[in-house]
Chains A and B, each alone.
Chain A
Amino acid sequence: MTQAHLGHAHAKGEPHTFEFSPGAIDKDDPLHGELMNLNMGPQHPATHGVLRIKVVLDGETMKYVEPVVGYLHRGKEKTCETLGWRKFFVHTDRLDYLQPLMNNCSYAMALESLAQMSVPQRGQQIRVLLMELSRIMAHLIYLGTTAIDLGAITMFFFTFSEREKIYTLLDAYTGHRMNNTYVRIGGVYADLDERVAREVRKWCEQFPAKIDEFEQMLTGNRIWYDRNRDIGVLTKEQCMSWSLTGPNLRASGYEWDLRKNRPYSGYENYQFEIPIGAKGDCYDRYAVRIEEMRQSVRILMQVLDALEKTQGGEFLAHDRRYVLPPKEAVRNSMEEMIHQFKIVTDMALPKGEAYHAVESSKGELGFYVVSDGTSHPVRCHIRAPGLMNVQAIPVLMHDRLFSDTVSIIGSLDFVMGEVDR
């Protein structure tokens, strides 16, 4: 059974085999030898988290691959039902911990569509700024870790020193380097300081040169090219059937980006391009992510210009059912005190259900929330793009050499915090 055959069977809509069948082994193959069971992970640097991959090897060819997830399961959905709408915000940071603010934004938008409230313009602009910084952060991790797994150690230091600068910027704005929890229902917690905006602009101006530097190291590099080109080829149809979204879908040549096709937070006001790939292999996924970082910088510059115009504007909605009043007002007004007390103890959201998705660095990150009109959700389902990316592993690795696992896992790009919730 070859890769092409699997792809074909799959395009017709048949599920691929979940159980290992010895019939799949070609006994006449001169390279056929003794079968070996191998466990990769859950403690393995190249699996990018606690992912375990069960492999049946025939010589060096993988005949059966099964990812085992759940080692990082912390029951986030149950926690949301127990803690209530408001207190779950801190937990969303721990889903995809490489881009906490993106998760915050997605969750906040789901709650806003449930409450049917709008966010002031400046609040939206700050959110776009945070989301694009998060996207770059996540792509830098992808680039650094994938490169170090394939032997390009320098890349890891290059990308992590850039990531460190973004951490410093976020530290200046939110007061935390990681797990920021700075987005609230109705906007963001605090206004973006002019000085921080200037620092972000300074960073944006120097970053494209750094991307060129990354590309000098990898694009056209013989080793990088050979390890990634024609490895892990995904077609458009496969991506759609396997629910793969984000850069993985775009690398396969389908132009779909929630920021463009279903704009939220005012993305329709910014000029940017959607990079797409031609072949859908690991190399295209790399190229798409590199270009996405450039486009993110482009959006960031436009956001910074827009933020200058809305300086001093509202960044948090005034809806006292869901938004905490400012501390000063609480101290001086009885009504605001009551509002604060009501929100902190029992912030009820209207009855009904809602889904909102954002284009995260890994694909469509959505929250499906169901409310019965109380402060505690009936259900909060996290639509994690990472889980869908993991699903592609068995198909992509089947009949490939074992050393390709590293390129494929790296290029699919998932974070176990999000996959296992």
Chain B
Amino acid sequence: MSTLERIQAGLNGITFKVVSSREGTTTIEIAIGDAKETIRRLRDACGFETNTFVTAVDRQPKTPRFELAWQFLSYKHNDYVRVHAAVEASHPHAPTITDLFAGTAYSERECFDMFGIVFDGHVGLKRLLMPEDYDHFPLRKDFPHQGIEPDRLYREWDRRRRERQPLAEESES
């Protein structure tokens, strides 16, 4: 039984589209509303035991703007499956799958950090790599590589430090 047949049998009742990938991994496209159920079935009915990664692709200026990508690995059947779902820029929300695959906790946090996609239901969804009071989402296409006001946070932190420290101590150093 090929990977696709196994997935077709497991995802009976959910509409999905098979898309091509260059390296031959079975890739399916689903609606974001079906994501949770699809991934649950992939785990329980199709035997995908582990999550490889969760990430997003910014397709600007196309609409819908974001494309989420999950990849799962089945140790038993020795194959991967990749799941795509489009996310609108006006409502960048996706369901969390941390309750199905606990290991996606950091990947989802990273995705939120870099693209601003909110994973509903994630316990402790906060920035992973950027500072917590950072304003932008760096991997979006409208974010320039050199950054937007790269020193803003340093100035902010410096200001706060000065406020905390008494003036006399400041002049001594």
Residues of A within 8 A of B (CB): 10, 13-19, 69-70, 73, 75, 77-79, 81-82, 113-116, 240-245, 254, 256, 261-262, 350, 352-357, 364, 366, 368, 370, 378-379, 381, 383, 387-388, 390-391, 420-421
**Residues A10 and B102 in contact, CB atoms below 8 Å apart:** yes
Contact A368 B78 (CB under 8 A): no
Contact of B103 among A70, A81, A241, A350 (CB under 8 A): A241
A-B pairs, 6 with minimum CB distance: A18-B124, A243-B103, A113-B23, A70-B129, A242-B103, A354-B22
Chain B's nearest CB lies how many Å from the CB of A11?
Answer: 10
B59 interface hit (Cβ, 8 Å)? yes
CB contacts (< 8 Å) of B105 on chain A: these are 15, 18, 391
Residue of A nearest to B127 (CB): A70
Closest to B143 in A: A78
Docked complex Cα distance between A356 and B53 (Å):
12
Let me know if B106 and A391 touch, CB within 8 A: yes
* A/B pair count, beta carbons within 8 Å: 118
A contact patch SS? mixed
Q: How far is the CB of B106 from chain A (nearest CB, A)?
A: 5
- Taking a contact as CB atoms under 8 Å apart, the answer to whether A70 and B128 are in contact is yes
Residues in B whose Cβ lies below 8 Å from that of A256: 75
- Contact residue range for chain B? 35 or more
Across the interface, do B82 and A352 meet the contact criterion of CB distance under 8 Å?
Answer: no
- Can you sample 13 A-B contacts with CB below 8 Å? A16-B102, A70-B128, A77-B139, A113-B22, A114-B23, A240-B49, A241-B101, A243-B103, A368-B55, A370-B57, A378-B58, A379-B57, A391-B106
Known: A261-B78, A352-B21. A378 touches B100 (CB 8 A): no
Q: Is B52 an interface residue (CB 8 A)?
A: yes
One of B20, B23, B58, B102 near A241 (C-beta < 8 A): B102
B21 engages A13 (CB within 8 Å) = no
Is B130 touching A13 in the complex (CB atoms < 8 A)? Answer: no
Min CB distance A363 to B, Å, is: 11
Query: Are B55 and A353 within 8 A (Cβ)?
Result: no
Chain B residues touching A, majority SS: loop
Pair A352/B104 contact, Cβ less than 8 Å: no
Q: Are B106 and A390 in contact (CB under 8 A)?
A: yes
- C-alpha spacing A186/B19, complex, angstroms: 26
- From B25, B51, B78, B145, give the contact of A355 (CB < 8 A): B25
Q: Is the CB of A388 within 8 A of B71?
A: no
Give the residue name and chain of the B residue nearest to A83 (CB). B145
A261→B73 CA distance, assembly (Å): 12
Out of A19, A116, A240, A421, name the residue touching B123 (CB < 8 Å). A19
| Complexed CA–CA distance, A341 and B126 (Å) | 45
* Chain A residues whose C-beta falls within 8 Å of the C-beta of B21 in the assembled complex: 352-355
Name the residue on B nearest A381 (C-beta): B55
- Listed residue (A16, A113, A243) with the most chain B CB atoms within 10 angstroms of its CB: A243
Per-residue CB proximity of B94-129 to A under 8 Å, as 1/0? 000011111111110010001000000001100111
